[in-house]
Structure 1
Amino acid sequence: MPHRNAILTETGRLHLAQLVVDQGWTLRRAAERFGVAVNTARRWAQRYREQGLAGMVDKSSRPKHCPHQLSQRTERRIVGLRVTKRWGPARIAYHLHLNPSTVHKVIRRYGCPPLRWTDPATGARIKTSRAEKRRYEHAAPGDLVHVDIKKLGRIPDGGGHKVLGRAAGTRNKTRTATNRRPGYAYIHNAVDDHSRLAYSEILTDEKKETAAAFWQRANAFFNAAGITVTRVLTDNGACYRSNAFKKALGDDITHKRTRPYRPQTNGKVERFNRIMLEEWAYAQPYTSETQRVAAFDQWLHHYNHHRGHTALKGHPPAARVPNLSGVNI
């Protein structure tokens, strides 16, 4: 688009070209008349001879060939991973061996909304506030372990609402003579702040004895991986304020609790909970709770040994825990 004070607008170009082509003016005379270079007068006169009025409009300055441009196949893979896996630019870049800024530009160009603006289950765009994120990370494994419990509704035999096509939540809330409510499972999670290494168990309740016993097994898991836990962060749940949990921690582990109504303080394990729901609990339609539970150990192994984390520059937690035991396949 020409500047409003430009000498040669579309009308001016046409007038210059007509003077040269139709009225026989020389290029130098026409150039002096409009105050432009001779080459400029020659270019517009030639366009007028070849294209007529259509040649007087601006043309795109986009290059015809760009050897460094991504192929359409690579761009489709980027958008596909964004839509199906809900991965961010950094994780897609590590997976496809690209630069994160390149992936970000492709996502912007195709109009993909930020993940925080979309619903995790349906992918539909939702309105959210743009809260400022404050990231932190402790220097060594064991400096801080985040502990939390995720309550998850069990799947009734035959499948839940996703399999059978009924309204969400009706089976868990309704009890009849032939239909007993399946209840809930309580997933106890412990996530190391530095490495994101996770230890989880699917248990039947969130009582103080259960939480204390879980921590003893979790601590043994971290010790076997060469991690000495010095601090544990939990919320203010009753089980974590009990003497049983305090006794399970012992004298060598400091217990910290989050501020009330501030779950983001325990953000590492809260993020793990969301990953767990997206990539295991709701990743596929299960026909029974037994089927979903059977897939948990394999998913947890994948999380610890294979799943790349953007905070770890595309590496799994095992990359930060050299003594982690287990078959890495």
Structure 2
Amino acid sequence: MSHPNAFLAPKGRLELAKCIVKDGWTYRRAAERFQVSVSTARRWAVRFREDGEAGMEDRSSRPHTSPGQTPRRRERRIIALRVNRRWGPDRIAYKLGMHPSTVHRVLSRYRLAKLTWQDRATGRAIRRYEHEYPGDLVHVDIKKLGRIPDGGGHKVLGRGAGRKNKTGTDANRRPGYAYLHNAVDDHSRLAYTEILTDEKQETAAGFWERANAFFESCGVTVKRVLTDNGSCYRSKLFAKALGAGIRHKRTRPYRPQTNGKVERFNRTMLEEWAYAKPYASETERTAAFGAWLHDYNHHRGHTSLKGQPPASRVPNLAGDYS
């Protein structure tokens, strides 16, 4: 589409065509006057004779026929594989002997939803939501993470030596697991995490009391908490820690997508902290966590927040850090 103020926009084309059709100018004279080629002057004159002023508007550059377009029967096979098996362009292309880019164009032409927007089990579109204010909903979850033995694991020592250092001969030397208790605000993605030794009800209840105090210190009043159906979250002790002012919601069984924001936080935490570099010990990795969490909350751009950090959505917190 041409710019409306361009010299040969629809208004300029109309003047050129009128000079030829109504005033009797030759194609060459009009072309010189409007500084275009003779063929261009001829084209606009012909379109003015055929369609009048409407012929001066831009037309689609799409060809009238596309002999090289994928046959309709092949397109139906592509759509059937996508809908019934939920395969991506690469896998469909290998199945049908086509190029993946061709399959991608067909899927785009029919505006089929991306696989990341669908539930793989049912094929239904994933319902994404975001609460309006901080504290309207806080996602709580526990991530179990294997500890690093002293001296390093397989990333530092290699596969064989790392396994030997991890298992050893003395059961008391085995590193075991760390339990990361996480609380993530639904609206702002502001996160609070503690690395604890277990996932018992007493531990989960104590964690929530400290997490709630953290959110209150940021000016966030928690109204609802969403957890899975773990035994620690179904206990009376955890309900007592929540208190009467906070509503407790639970995810549907075998539906971790419902608690997706904290699940995504777990993945980010593993990629950018836990497995970001080879640590020589669990102590070294734990010592690095505080700085990473601060960077996540106050400096790291979040894709769902248009590149802004979670602190930008908490008015009482955003100005406390540079």
- With the shorter chain as reference, the TM-score category is 0.5 to 0.7
2:129 alignment partner, SS class: coil
1:171–1:181 CA contact under 8 A, matched in 2? no
Provide the rounded CA distance (Å) in 1 between the counterparts of 2:211 and 2:253. Answer: 25
Q: 1:218 to 1:260 in 2, by over 3 A?
A: same
Structure 1 residue 115 displacement after superposition: 12
Partner of 2:266: 273
Partner of 1:80: none
Structure 1 residue 174 displacement after superposition: 3.1
Structure 1 residue 133 displacement after superposition: 3.5
Partner of 2:283: 290
Provide the rounded CA distance (Å) in 1 between the counterparts of 2:201 and 2:194. Answer: 15
Question: Cα deviations across residues 156-175 of structure 1 (Å, max 9, x unaligned)?
Answer: 00111111111598458734
Superposition TM-score, scaled by structure 2 size = 0.60
1:153–1:172 CA contact under 8 A, matched in 2? no
Q: 1:320 to 1:167 in 2, by over 3 A?
A: farther
Structure 1 residue 188 displacement after superposition: 0.3
Within-5 A mapping of 1:50-61: none
1:172–1:183 CA contact under 8 A, matched in 2? no
Task: Name which of 230, 233, 237 aligns with 1:237.
Answer: 230
Higher helix share: 2
Within-5 A mapping of 1:150-229: 150-166=143-159, 170=163, 174-177=167-170, 180-229=173-222
1:275 alignment partner, SS class: helix
2:173 alignment partner, SS class: coil
Once superposed, what is the RMSD of the aligned Cα atoms? 2.7
| Structure ranking higher on relative contact order (CA contacts 8 Å, 6+ apart) | 1
Q: Given residue 139 of structure 2, which amino acid in structure 1 is its aligned partner?
A: H
Structure 1 residue 179 displacement after superposition: 7.7
Give the fraction of aligned pairs with identical amino acids, expressed as a percent. Answer: 76
Is there any run of 5+ residues in structure 1 with no aligned partner, and where?
A: 1-37, 40-113, 117-127
- The number of aligned residues is 207
2:271 alignment partner, SS class: helix
Provide the rounded CA distance (Å) in 1 between the counterparts of 2:165 and 2:190. Answer: 32
Does 1:261 pair with 2:254?
A: yes
Is there any run of 5+ residues in structure 2 with no aligned partner, and where?
A: 1-37, 40-113
Q: 1:297 to 1:148 in 2, by over 3 A?
A: same
Question: Cα deviations across residues 53-108 of structure 1 (Å, max 9, x unaligned)?
Answer: xxxxxxxxxxxxxxxxxxxxxxxxxxxxxxxxxxxxxxxxxxxxxxxxxxxxxxxx
Question: Cα deviations across residues 169-203 of structure 1 (Å, max 9, x unaligned)?
Answer: 84587341498210000000000000000000000
1:225–1:325 CA contact under 8 A, matched in 2? no
Q: Given residue 293 of structure 2, which amino acid in structure 1 is its aligned partner?
A: L
Does 1:146 pair with 2:133?
A: no
Task: Name which of 293, 311, 317 aligns with 1:318.
Answer: 311
Q: Given residue 299 of structure 1, which amino acid in structure 2 is its aligned partner?
A: W
Question: Cα deviations across residues 27-70 of structure 1 (Å, max 9, x unaligned)?
Answer: xxxxxxxxxxx99xxxxxxxxxxxxxxxxxxxxxxxxxxxxxxx
Structure 1 residue 266 displacement after superposition: 0.2
